[in-house]
Amino acid sequence: MGRLVMKFGGTSVANIERIRNVARHVKREVDAGHDVAVVVSAMSGKTNELVDWCRDASPLHDAREYDAVVASGEQVTSGLLAIVLQGMGIQARSWQGWQIPIVTSDAHASARILEIDGSEIMNRFADRKEVAVIAGFQGINPQTNRITTLGRGGSDTSAVAIAAAIRADRCDIYTDVDGVYTTDPRVVPKAKRLDKIAFEDMLELASLGAKVLQVRSVELGMVHNMPVFVRSSFDKPEDIDPHGTPPGTLICSEEEIMESHVVTGIAFSKDEAQISLRQIQDKPGVAAAIFGPLADANINVDMIVQNVSEDGKATDLTFTVPASDYNRARDTITSSKDKIGYARLDSATDVSKVSVIGSGMRSHAGVAAKAFKALAERNINIRAITTSEIKFSVLIDAAYTELAVRTLHTLYGLDQA
């Protein structure tokens, strides 16, 4: 007997029929003797609709009211699932963030979980085996007494945080894919599902473009050493042996992974924009003059490359920002043009970032060099590069994204993984 968190995303609770399917998954684990807390998302498309309503009501809406509106999607599904479970003879009740409470910061629309009191949920496991059906994505800030939300995709984070708070053995994330793949299978049909992946590698994959899990949820899993299992909600509940190992990917600590490849996966993101400043004076303080105002504007700069200008006297500086911040970034730079002192600003939005990830890189040299050669052989021009201990990224023309991902997937032996 154990204790489980089961999290179901929007497509898994898209209608009453699917909510019934979710309830049968829950029943299977309850019948196997486990204590179960379920975390649900809003029905698929619901949160988008709610967000659109807020924008329609006023483009400059109050973020606190935005949270009051968008948190409602999860309230609906938590209640519905509790009703269906009760109808199946399973003790269950719904919990909103404020009822537990899930205490968060007051950063509305992107609040951080600070504390969760799991004691009442655990008492009810002990007293009457009651299933807790918890609305994901939301919490409360006790100082202001207002409902908060955790940012898009935040129910993953709710689930992992609750798992830690109730000391669960594992957090199962049921979703519309059956695990984490070496890369997006829609781009590389030979992509393989990983049986296990280390928190660190998953954190990079998620940060660099893989959309399986909210980044923050992986961070929390790592901090609490909470194993997270990504699995499909579309498998028939009755076909699954609750004591066997179903298909899926276990995200766990590195020590639990026996065979490890140098490269774990390839991620990519087309939401990048490149800005290049030509012929900047090569003197101290210039980088500060450029990146200071961007930081003040809350714009995340990712890749940075500096090289000698064509004229050989000055320097060129290239950096990337999220595509959604591109216009703001350009305006910010242009308005400090006199302070920075550059001749020309070039930019490109049709670029993408392809990243190769693997904690095995720590102990292997030349992993990135191999990629540069392979990309050159395909005539793919690299605009910028960044590296860290366990990953490197290249910025390329967006048109070559798929070719680059496929080339690297084969290069690092992931086709046969």
Residues that bind Mg ion (CB under 5 A): 9, 153
Residue 97 within binding range of ligand ASP, rule CB under 6 A: no
CB count in 10 Å sphere of residue 292: 14
Count how many Cα atoms sit within 13 Å of the Cα of residue 219 in the half-sphere of its side chain.
9
Residue listed under structure tokens 């720590």: 362
Residue 342 within binding range of ligand ASP, rule CB under 6 A: no
Strands (E), 105-246: 113-116, 131-135, 138-141, 146-149, 170-175, 196-198, 228-232
Q: Which of 5, 6, 10, 183 binds ligand ASP (CB under 6 A)?
A: 10
Q: Which of 153, 221, 265, 358 binds ligand ASP (CB under 6 A)?
A: 153
Residue 179 within binding range of ligand ASP, rule CB under 6 A: no
User: Which lies closer to ligand ASP via its Cβ, residue 41 or residue 401?
Assistant: 41
Phi-psi region at 199: left, alpha or beta (left = phi > 0; alpha = psi -120 to 50): alpha
Task: Give the count of residues interacting with ligand ASP (CB under 6 A).
Answer: 13
Sign of the alpha-carbon torsion through 75, 79, 84, 88: positive
Residue 183 within binding range of ligand ASP, rule CB under 6 A: no
Beta-bridge mates of residue 196: 250
Site for ligand ASP in 65-84 (CB under 6 A): 73
Residue listed under structure tokens 């005539």: 379
Residue 265 within binding range of ligand ASP, rule CB under 6 A: no
Sign of the alpha-carbon torsion through 161, 162, 166, 172: negative
Choose one: 41-49, 176-184, 219-227, 266-274; the region binding ligand ASP (CB under 6 A). 41-49
Residue 139 within binding range of ligand ASP, rule CB under 6 A: no
Q: What are the residue ranges of helices labelled H in 176-282? A: 199-207, 215-224
Minimum separation from the CB atom of position 277 to ligand ASP (A): 36
Count how many Cα atoms sit within 13 Å of the Cα of residue 269 in the half-sphere of its side chain.
22
Torsion angle (degrees, nearest 10) of CA 353, 359, 361, 363: 160
User: Which lies closer to ligand ASP via its Cβ, residue 73 or residue 97?
Assistant: 73
Residue 221 partner contact from Mg ion, ligand ASP, none using kind-dependent CB cut-offs of 5 to 8 Å: none
Q: Which of 13, 27, 29, 41 binds ligand ASP (CB under 6 A)?
A: 41
Residue 47 within binding range of ligand ASP, rule CB under 6 A: yes
Q: Which of 97, 118, 139, 154 binds ligand ASP (CB under 6 A)?
A: 154
Minimum separation from the CB atom of position 96 to ligand ASP (A): 14
Choose one: 149-157, 184-192, 228-236, 357-365; the region binding ligand ASP (CB under 6 A). 149-157
Q: Is the separation of the CB atoms in 113 and 102 below 8 Å? A: yes
Minimum separation from the CB atom of position 10 to ligand ASP (A): 5
Which residue is closest to Mg ion by CB?
A: 153
Minimum separation from the CB atom of position 167 to ligand ASP (A): 23
Q: Which of 20, 64, 112, 152 binds ligand ASP (CB under 6 A)?
A: 152
Residue 13 within binding range of ligand ASP, rule CB under 6 A: no
Q: Is the separation of the CB atoms in 259 and 199 below 8 Å? A: no
Minimum separation from the CB atom of position 7 to Mg ion (A): 9
CA distances from 341 to 28, 71, 150, 312, 327 (A): 66, 47, 40, 16, 20
Minimum separation from the CB atom of position 365 to ligand ASP (A): 40
CA distance 196 to 255: 11
Residue 112 within binding range of ligand ASP, rule CB under 6 A: no
Laid out side by side, the sheet with 92-95 consists of 92-95, 131-135, 35-40, 3-8, 170-175, 228-232, 249-252, 196-198
Angle, helices 286-296 vs 326-335, to 10°: value is: 130
Residue 42 partner contact from ligand ASP, Mg ion, none using kind-dependent CB cut-offs of 5 to 8 Å: ligand ASP
80, 68, 91: which is closest to 43 by C-alpha?
80
User: Which lies closer to ligand ASP via its Cβ, residue 48 or residue 253?
Assistant: 48
Interface ranges with ligand ASP (CB under 6 A) = 9-10, 41-42, 47, 73, 136-137, 152-156
